[in-house]
């Protein structure tokens, strides 16, 4: 069979990706283009007319200092959270695939945080920070400890802690799959050749797990950049709006302050930044991927 | 494997189409099936959701009209929830929103209610461009909530709220409570809506001409720092801060906890409104509570009045997505609330709302609503100001007032910040 | 001798790991324990003493029947199950096929699709929210159907699933195996369905659990698509317990526990496949 004719290619494409392409276009691409158009209007989000205003919303977005401050904060938060999430997830994944007792139990346990979402998550963690940690802190320093959530840096730190807690189990899952995909034979062979455990991780497992790293880094980077729900339920921007991350600012701009167009434009700028960072990361990662 | 994959897909597709048929049949029952029509209602007073649903069942039995009550989403604003409903061309027949939202929705989507029977029984409806668009659900007011039991336990005398109308007297009482063992007698909610839209808003509302004052702020002309009302209210706020139980981490005081402490008498005062009763009554509360005006050292009579008025408004959808029968059913429902004893009982007894209509008798209210009603009946309510810029709550409430509450900002800095904010704020047309 | 030392070292290493894991484990499940502690209390006790085993008002089981009744649990449970199962199956089948096409054929169309998909993963949802309802509600009028929700769930999750399958096909499926099959006369579809798909088991299990969980817990999209009570899924139904001025914490906890059980069971079940690893990898 000829595999380089146009008709063969089209048939193969339609067979394997036809439905996906249609669904993807309908659900993501077309609404996105419409959303792009809305950034060129001064719509308030509800009225029937959507006056066309050109790039005015982008001008507003660039002039909105609060947006850039929240974006800078998001960078700092993401950088720390991404590193911690992946480090913790990788270490846990390594430990629960090393053949210790009860590893299945641990795997389930670390996954549990993923099952608690939304307001309950915020409620429970608020309690942990405001009550449990404060009681502990007062006990240790025998004075009045202040809740992490009540200070500007503390609130961001709290967000990072909760993010690590929330995502580490999830990313662990991908790393576990990565560890499992590194064949036992290869590790055994390395041992016979005199590799220690650490050496075989660094020289064999990690390179073979590049795909897992690319996936996890991409997922954590993009999720951290766009984090909204934890931000809302844990701090809601308190204290004094100092913990509002970019997505929250965008959301408030569009729906609380009713500047739909400007909020939408700011969200698009956020999208472009994320896409560039994520794209570079995937590109670099894919280059280093080992082909089976 | 191939077969299994294929059969899975077939099953998926088939069951999908089955459900598609099923639910489209369900959907078309609107307005056609059986004796009655079906209307949808958005309830944005989430604390009465249970009562509302129970009432809807009884209402259907009595009238044959099916009322489906939806709860407002607390993750987002009511305005954006309504906006997405209109964007998807699937609006509620009756929508309950805040006064501010009526102004932005009325022109496009609100049906004119001025010919309704109830219109003559209230002065609190909202009229936009000669169209009566908003049906007032209730009267709500804010001030300082007190727990009289907790105060009397220390002072040994019956508490009379009018005895602490001035800040000096209030301060003296706080000191007495403190000396009597209640170290921190005050709670201040740290939520930005409470600080921005409820407390700081009084700075505008207590002016002689709130509109002129806000406009001069918007024009960058007003001198906030030397404004009498501003300073009087902020002096009181300083006192609240000084006696706040959450002092030190005031910016994230927990609302449930503050309400619980007030209910149990661990603190004696909390700034709030009669809607707070629905939280307070979840705990071991006393009936001996009430709302009093914010104490002020002032020369005018604002310290004898609560601030408030109509709260939450229904509007009837005027778009093509609602049929004439549905619209009529919605209008009938509003009339039923005002003119039928059952409807009245729903408002005043089941939901404990202070009615906004003069023909409704309300005697079985909760203590806070009783306070509000007595001030309302005596004409001692300063009206709400509904035209603050949309981001006032997040900027002035959260970024500025919360910082001030946490003592991370001086009064001068606050003045500058608020004045700066108004210079770039977008005014609300009205 | 050497073996003994090695065995002892291994034992010590394992002991250390178990201690570290246990400590981490406690930190990880602590909030979950909080949920269990508080589900048997009335609201007043939850606020007053969230850490106590039993509150002042005593032990109560009331939260469960109340939550079940108030959220119409069995109906919404059925809805959630239906939406989650079909969306997950659809996503896995479609995305693995797409990923296979992209990995094995270096065509421009594939590259464009893949880049678009990756880029789409970082679109903030609120950019799409209003356009989505305007198009599907305002123009096509097909909201308020569970199938519409399934369609959208698949559309939004395709990208990430394709991305994950892409990685694992790239690294774990030996091309030599496929070449051998081609020589034996298999066409591309047969190769995919009979050779590649089975090898992908661990990834399938991972994607299944991640997506099923996302669908099961998703609130925003279902709330936009399903505006009728009889179509509600669990997260939307749970919302009746959240009020602006009063949040019914006890009922929320009960609803949460009831809702998370199926996912936990699915996870424990699928874990086997993740653990099994790649048996076919040995053919390399």
Nearest chain B Cα to A234, which residue?
B252
CA B230 distance to own-chain centroid:
23
Cβ of residue C144 closer than 8 Å to a chain B Cβ: yes
Residue A131: the pLDDT is 74
> What are the pLDDT digits (tens) for C123-154?
888 788 888 888 898 888 888 999 999 999 99
Average pLDDT over residues B10-25: 42
Query: CB–CB of C123 and A28 under 8 A?
Result: yes
Contact B265, B153 (CB under 8 A): yes
Residue B220: the pLDDT is 92
Query: CB–CB of C151 and A95 under 8 A?
Result: no
Residue C265: the pLDDT is 83
Query: CB–CB of A239 and B406 under 8 A?
Result: yes
Strands (E), B150-268: 186-187
Is the complex ipTM higher than 0.90? no
Which domains are delineated in chain B?
36-140+309-376 (3.40.190.10), 141-308+377-424 (3.40.190.10)
Instruction: Among A259-268, B213-222, C30-39, C161-170, name the one with the lowest average pLDDT.
Output: C30-39
Secondary structure of residue A41 in the 3-state scheme: strand
Cβ of residue C116 closer than 8 Å to a chain A Cβ: yes
Instruction: Among A36-50, B214-228, B405-419, name the one with the lowest average pLDDT.
Output: A36-50
> What are the pLDDT digits (tens) for B290-324?
999 999 999 899 999 999 999 899 999 999 999 99
> Does B151 score more than 50 pLDDT?
yes
Per-residue DSSP letter, B28: T
Nearest chain A Cα to C154, which residue?
A23
Residue B26: the pLDDT is 37
Highest mean pLDDT among A144-148, B165-169, C193-197: B165-169
Residue A117: the pLDDT is 66
- State the Cα–Cα distance between residues A156 and A185, nearest whole angstrom: 45
Highest mean pLDDT among A16-30, A121-135, B8-22, B26-40: A16-30
Which domains are delineated in chain A?
58-287 (1.10.3720.10)
Shortest Cα–Cα distance, B34 to chain A (Å): 34
> Does A245 score more than 90 pLDDT?
yes
> Does B16 score more than 70 pLDDT?
no
Average pLDDT over residues B177-184: 94
Query: CB–CB of A257 and B391 under 8 A?
Result: yes
Average pLDDT over residues A20-30: 95
Using 50, 70 and 90 to split pLDDT, how confident is the model at B11? very low
Regarding predicted confidence, which is higher, B379 or A180? B379
Average pLDDT over residues B52-78: 89
Shortest Cα–Cα distance, B91 to chain C (Å): 10
Average pLDDT over residues B334-343: 94
Task: Residue window 17-36, chain C: list those with CB within 8 Å of chain B.
Answer: none
> Does B215 score more than 60 pLDDT?
yes
Residue B28: the pLDDT is 37
Average pLDDT over residues B19-38: 47
Query: CB–CB of C239 and B16 under 8 A?
Result: no
Nearest to C232 by CA among A284, B23, A181: B23
Q: What percent of chain A has pLDDT over 70?
A: 94
> Does B17 score more than 60 pLDDT?
no
Residue B204: the pLDDT is 96
Query: CB–CB of C246 and B282 under 8 A?
Result: yes
Average pLDDT over residues B81-102: 90
Handedness of CA C196, C202, C206, C212 (dihedral sign): positive
Query: CB–CB of A47 and B394 under 8 A?
Result: no
Average pLDDT over residues B107-117: 93
Residue A1: the pLDDT is 54
Regarding predicted confidence, which is higher, B4 or B321? B321
Residue B254: the pLDDT is 81
pTM summary value: 0.84
**Tokens 């309690």 belong to residue:** A127
Which stretches of chain C drop beneath a pLDDT of 70?
1-2, 243-246, 273-284
Cβ of residue A119 closer than 8 Å to a chain C Cβ: yes
Instruction: Among A259-263, B11-15, B93-97, name the one with the lowest average pLDDT.
Output: B11-15
Residue A145: the pLDDT is 67
Residue A119: the pLDDT is 58
Say how many CB pairs under 8 Å bridge A and B: 85
Nearest chain A Cα to B402, which residue?
A240
Query: CB–CB of A127 and C164 under 8 A?
Result: no
- State the Cα–Cα distance between residues A214 and B283, nearest whole angstrom: 51
């Amino acid at each position: 069979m000829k595999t380089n004719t146009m008709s063969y290619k089209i048939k193969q494409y339609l067979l394997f990706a036809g439905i996906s392409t249609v669904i993807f276009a309908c659900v993501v691409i077309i609404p996105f283009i419409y959303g792009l158009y809305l950034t060129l209007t001064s719509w308030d989000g509800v009225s029937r007319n959507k006056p066309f205003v050109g790039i005015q919303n982008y001008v507003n977005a660039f002039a909105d200092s609060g947006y850039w401050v929240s974006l800078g904060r998001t960078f700092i938060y993401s950088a720390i959270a991404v590193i911690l999430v992946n480090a913790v997830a990788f270490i846990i994944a390594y430990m629960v695939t090393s053949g210790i007792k009860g590893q299945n139990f641990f795997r389930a346990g670390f996954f549990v945080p993923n099952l608690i979402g939304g307001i309950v998550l915020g409620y429970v963690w608020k309690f942990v920070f405001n009550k449990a940690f404060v009681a502990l802190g007062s006990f240790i320093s025998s004075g009045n400890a202040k809740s992490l959530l009540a200070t500007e840096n503390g609130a961001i730190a709290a967000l990072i802690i909760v993010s690590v807690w929330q995502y580490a189990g999830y990313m662990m899952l991908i790393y576990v799959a990565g560890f499992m995909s590194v064949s036992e034979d290869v590790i055994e062979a390395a041992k016979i050749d005199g590799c220690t455990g650490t050496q075989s991780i660094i020289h064999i497992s990690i390179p073979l797990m590049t795909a897992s790293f690319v996936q996890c880094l991409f997922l954590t980077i993009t999720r951290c950049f766009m984090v909204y729900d934890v931000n809302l339920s844990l701090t809601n921007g308190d204290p004094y709006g100092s913990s509002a991350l970019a997505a929250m600012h965008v959301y408030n701009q569009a729906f609380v302050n009713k500047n739909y167009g400007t909020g939408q434009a700011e969200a698009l700028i956020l999208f472009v930044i994320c896409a560039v960072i994520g794209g570079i990361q995937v590109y670099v990662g894919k280059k280093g991927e080992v082909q089976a | 494997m191939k077969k299994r994959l294929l059969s899975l897909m077939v099953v998926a597709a088939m069951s999908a189409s089955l459900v598609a048929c099923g639910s489209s049949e369900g959907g078309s029952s609107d307005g056609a099936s059986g004796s009655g029509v079906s209307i949808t209602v958005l309830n944005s007073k989430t604390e009465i959701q249970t009562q509302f649903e129970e009432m809807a069942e009884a209402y259907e039995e009595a009238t044959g009209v099916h009322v489906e009550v939806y709860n407002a989403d607390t993750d987002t604003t009511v305005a954006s929830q309504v906006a997405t409903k209109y964007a998807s061309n699937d609006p509620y027949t009756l929508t309950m929103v805040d006064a501010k939202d009526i102004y932005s929705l009325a022109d496009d989507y609100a049906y004119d209610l001025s010919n309704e029977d109830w219109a003559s029984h209230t002065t609190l409806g909202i009229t936009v461009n000669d169209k009566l668009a908003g049906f007032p659900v209730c009267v709500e007011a804010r001030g300082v909530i007190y727990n009289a039991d907790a105060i009397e336990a220390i002072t040994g005398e019956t508490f009379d709220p009018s005895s602490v109308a001035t800040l000096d007297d209030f301060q003296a009482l706080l000191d007495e409570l403190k000396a009597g063992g209640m170290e921190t007698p005050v709670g201040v909610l740290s939520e930005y809506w409470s600080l921005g839209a409820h407390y700081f808003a009084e700075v505008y509302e207590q002016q002689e001409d709130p509109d002129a004052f806000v406009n001069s702020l918007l024009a960058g002309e007003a001198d906030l720092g030397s404004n009498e009302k501003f300073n009087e209210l902020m002096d009181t706020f300083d006192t609240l801060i000084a006696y706040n139980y959450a002092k030190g981490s005031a910016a994230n005081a927990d609302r449930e906890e503050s309400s619980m402490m007030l209910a149990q008498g661990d603190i004696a005062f909390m700034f709030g409104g009669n809607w707070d009763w629905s939280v307070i009554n979840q705990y071991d509360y006393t009936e001996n509570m009430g709302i009093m005006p914010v104490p002020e050292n002032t020369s005018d009579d604002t310290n004898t009045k609560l601030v408030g008025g109509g709260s939450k408004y229904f509007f009837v959808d005027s778009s093509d997505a609602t049929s004439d029968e549905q619209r009529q059913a919605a209008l009938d429902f509003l009339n039923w609330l005002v003119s039928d004893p059952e409807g009245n009982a729903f408002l005043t007894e089941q939901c404990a709302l202070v009615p906004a209509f003069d023909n409704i008798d309300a005697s079985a209210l909760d203590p806070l609503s009783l306070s509000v009603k007595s001030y309302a009946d005596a004409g001692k309510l300063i009206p709400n100001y509904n035209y603050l810029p949309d981001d006032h709550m997040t900027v002035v409430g959260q970024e500025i007032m919360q910082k001030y509450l946490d003592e991370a900002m001086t009064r001068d800095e606050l003045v500058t910040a608020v004045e700066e904010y108004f210079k770039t704020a977008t005014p609300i047309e009205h | 001798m050497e073996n003994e030392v090695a065995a002892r070292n291994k034992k010590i290493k394992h002991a250390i790991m178990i201690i570290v894991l246990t400590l981490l484990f406690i930190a990880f499940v602590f909030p979950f324990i909080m949920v269990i502690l508080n589900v048997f209390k009335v609201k007043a006790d939850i606020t007053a003493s969230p850490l106590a085993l039993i509150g002042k008002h005593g032990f109560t089981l009331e939260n469960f029947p109340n939550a079940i009744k108030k959220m119409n649990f069995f109906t919404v449970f059925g809805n959630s199950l239906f939406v989650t199962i079909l969306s997950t199956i659809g996503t896995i089948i479609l995305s693995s096929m797409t990923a296979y096409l992209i990995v094995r054929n270096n065509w421009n169309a594939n590259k464009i699709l893949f880049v678009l998909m990756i880029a789409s993963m970082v679109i903030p949802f609120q950019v799409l929210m209003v356009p989505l309802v305007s198009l599907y509600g305002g123009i096509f009028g097909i909201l308020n159907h569970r199938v519409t929700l399934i369609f959208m769930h698949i559309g939004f999750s395709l990208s990430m699933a394709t991305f994950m399958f892409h990685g694992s096909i790239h690294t774990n499926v030996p091309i030599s195996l496929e070449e051998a099959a081609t020589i034996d006369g298999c066409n591309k579809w047969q190769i995919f369905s009979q050779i590649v798909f089975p090898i992908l088991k661990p990834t399938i299990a991972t994607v299944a659990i991640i997506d099923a969980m996302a669908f099961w817990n998703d609130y925003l999209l279902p709330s936009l698509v399903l505006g009728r009570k009889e179509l509600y899924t669990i997260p939307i139904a749970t919302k009746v317990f959240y009020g602006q001025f009063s949040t019914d914490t006890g009922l929320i906890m009960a609803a949460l526990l009831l809702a998370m059980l199926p996912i936990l069971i699915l996870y424990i079940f699928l874990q086997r496949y993740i653990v099994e690893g790649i048996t076919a990898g040995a053919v390399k």
